[in-house]
Amino acid sequence: MKRVLVTGANGFVGRALCARLASGGMEVAGAARKDHANEVRAFGARPVVIGDLDSQTDWMAAMTGIDCVVHLAARVHVMREVESDPLAAFRAVNTFGSERLALQAAAAGVRRFVYISTIKVNGEYTENKPFSEQDKPQPSDPYAVSKWEAEQALRRLAVESGLEVVVVRPPLVYGPGVKGNFLSLMRLVHKGIPLPLGRCDNRRSLLGLDNFVDFLAMCIDHPACPGRTFVLSDGEDLSTPDLIRNLAAAMGRPARLLSIPSTWLEFAASLLDRRDVYQRLCGSLQVDSSFARRSLGWSPPQTVDAGLTATARAFLQQSVQ
């Protein structure tokens, strides 16, 4: 029986992964803070109470008998940063904290370490071709820089210790219970608020939660994974207007899209110093996941339509509670 330690076990992806692995017969330990222990247990994992994630965290007690670590916990990108030195704050958790975890995993005899990075390591947007594993990394914000530095530290450790390191760089992950910008968009669509995005001619790759969890489960013991970096997506790219239309249809709401020229939106965003918001809504970010499919024989078990419908219905159910 495989024994897996999942960090960030109480998070959006962590809960789903713990449930998937436990249902598949694996013994799962879920690392989380003390106040989330019962939540982790509810998803089929044995709670492992861990405090702050940094270069001093002691993981050794959690490593007993563990075959593989799936490292999801991270300091994530935030819209309103409060730290005076954001890069230092991200590095403390995402770079040094991840390196500490991997060092102790290797010392405890853990065989494999699956690290969840981000597609932002490749860059913020695409123009002529989708991102792939072959691209030169171009992280541009503190979050992405800290993730890229962690990847490099883990690669060095793999050479030194023999730890089997697997790196996965997902784009935006959606699914039932999603938070952040995706949840904000669903709220706007549900309320019927007109959105000036009808003429955004972009393409964005997404990754459904079920598809992501399915791939991570494969990474735990597939023989072709060690030493590899994988970029991942559903394989069905959408424009922002199409995404809104799909969500609206799943909610039984009209898609209220205004046909405002994208150049006007870009100009307005520049005046307000919010080009990052414009880029997320109207820019393209495509991911070529053909290497993962080809090398591992993986294919997403859920279509985009099915994933978006499940996400929207879960949102509606939560809204009426």
Q: Which of 151, 152, 166 has its CA nearest to residue 113?
A: 166
Q: Which of 70, 86, 202 has its CA nearest to residue 140?
A: 86
For every residue of 68-83, DSSP letters joined together read EEEE-------SS---
Reading the block at residue 179, the tokens are 């938070």
Helix (H, G, I), strand (E, B) or coil at 260: coil
Q: Are 104 and 31 spatial neighbours (Cβ–Cβ below 8 Å)?
A: no
Q: Within 10 A of 146 (CB to CB), how many other CB atoms are there?
A: 29
Q: Which are the catalytic amino acids?
A: 143
d(C-alpha 259, C-alpha 240), whole Å? 13
